[in-house]
């Protein structure tokens, strides 16, 4: 996979950064994005010469076009898109959720992911082939207390993965990963102060790490997964074996 190029959205820290680290170790060049320019610069510096970074909001069309164009200008190809950027500003029952907030979650977690895929498809993958991995969530597979809007957006992302797996073959494979709680800044509110209680619900008796998800993404991007498309791989320490979150 040497010299292949991956674009990973929302990757200045957490799961996205873990994916970038893993891919570089496997010989990829990476382009990472994030909203905070200082955090992004530090992440690029840590990753080294095989990484580029572009600051911006994942759902900003101008940012999306800039990143894809710059990736192709600098590296000359775009083999993998990882849609990792996501938000979750809403907690509580759906009946108490403001529609404006719900629209924003769907805009970032679903529609911007589709737009990133469209741009990569039109600029490189349609003619040359490629791979897409969407970072979904176990909340998209079953009811999740307090995380209704987020779960709906991730369920839609899983459906998008199936649909595009069907539409974009054989040249482009589209898959997803569905993590449970991974110890990152993004998910801190779900375990901080009660980690022992949370961990007790997992058969593997620990929360996830970015590296757990990164390994699965690297597999899906590799030739070892050449006959896999439209699938969602659950990476959850066994949490969903009980049937609900």
Domains identified in the chain and CATH numbers = 5-234 (3.40.50.720)
Q: pTM value?
A: 0.95
| Nearest one of 166, 151, 177, 220 to 84, comparing CA atoms | 177
**CA pseudo-torsion sign 93, 35, 21, 161:** positive
Q: Is the model's pLDDT at 224 over the cut of 50?
A: yes
Chain-centroid distance, C-alpha 141: 16
- CA gap 129, 26 in Å, rounded: 20
| Nearest one of 92, 130, 124, 90 to 107, comparing CA atoms | 90
Per-residue pLDDT, averaged over 174-201, amounts to 89
- CA gap 215, 192 in Å, rounded: 25
Interval 38-94: pLDDT, tens: 999 999 999 999 999 999 999 999 999 999 999 999 999 999 999 999 999 999 999
Is 202 annotated in the active site? no
Q: Is the model's pLDDT at 183 over the cut of 60?
A: yes
Catalytic site residue from 91, 150, 191, 202: 150
Contact present, 180 and 240 (Cβ < 8 Å): yes
Beta-carbon contacts of 118 under 8 Å, excluding residues fewer than 6 positions away, are: none
Owner of token pair 């970074």: 53
Dihedrals φ, ψ of 146, to 5°?
80, -10
Lowest mean pLDDT among 50-64, 181-195, 223-237: 181-195
Classify strands 51-55 and 29-34 as parallel, antiparallel or unpaired: parallel
Collapsed DSSP state (helix, strand, coil) of residue 175: strand
Q: Is the model's pLDDT at 227 over the cut of 80?
A: yes
Collapsed DSSP state (helix, strand, coil) of residue 133: strand
Interval 12-32: pLDDT, tens: 999 999 999 999 999 999 999
Contact present, 131 and 120 (Cβ < 8 Å): no
Query: Bridge partners of 31?
Result: 7, 52
Q: Where does the pLDDT of residue 1 fall: very low under 50, low under 70, confident under 90, or very high at 90 and above?
A: very low
- CA gap 119, 123 in Å, rounded: 6
Beta-carbon contacts of 86 under 8 Å, excluding residues fewer than 6 positions away, are: 10, 108, 109, 135, 153, 186
Per-residue pLDDT, averaged over 110-127, amounts to 98
Q: Where does the pLDDT of residue 244 fall: very low under 50, low under 70, confident under 90, or very high at 90 and above?
A: low
| pLDDT computed for residue 194 by the predictor | 84
- CA gap 7, 31 in Å, rounded: 5
């Amino acid at each position: 996979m040497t010299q292949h190029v991956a674009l990973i959205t929302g990757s200045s820290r957490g799961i996205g950064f873990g994916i970038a680290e893993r891919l570089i170790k496997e010989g990829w060049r990476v382009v990472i994005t994030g909203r905070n320019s200082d955090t992004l610069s530090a992440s690029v510096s840590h990753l080294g010469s095989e990484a580029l970074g572009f600051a911006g909001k994942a759902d900003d069309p101008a940012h999306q076009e800039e990143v894809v164009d710059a990736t192709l200008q600098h590296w000359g190809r775009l083999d993998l898109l990882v849609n990792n950027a996501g938000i979750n500003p809403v907690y509580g029952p759906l009946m108490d959720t403001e529609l404006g907030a719900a629209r924003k979650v769907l805009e970032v977690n679903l529609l911007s992911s589709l737009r990133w895929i469209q741009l990569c498809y039109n600029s490189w993958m349609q003619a040359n082939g490629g791979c897409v991995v969407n970072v979904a969530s176990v909340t998209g597979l079953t009811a999740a207390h307090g995380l209704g809007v987020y779960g709906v957006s991730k369920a839609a992302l899983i459906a998008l993965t199936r649909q595009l797996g069907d539409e974009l073959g054989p040249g482009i494979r589209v898959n997803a990963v569905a993590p449970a709680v991974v110890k990152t800044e993004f998910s801190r509110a779900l375990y901080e102060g009660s980690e022992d209680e949370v961990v007790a619900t997992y058969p593997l008796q620990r929360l996830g790490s970015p590296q757990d998800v990164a390994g699965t993404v690297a597999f899906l991007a590799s030739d070892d997964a050449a006959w896999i498309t439209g699938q969602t791989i659950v990476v959850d320490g066994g949490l969903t074996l009980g049937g609900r979150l």
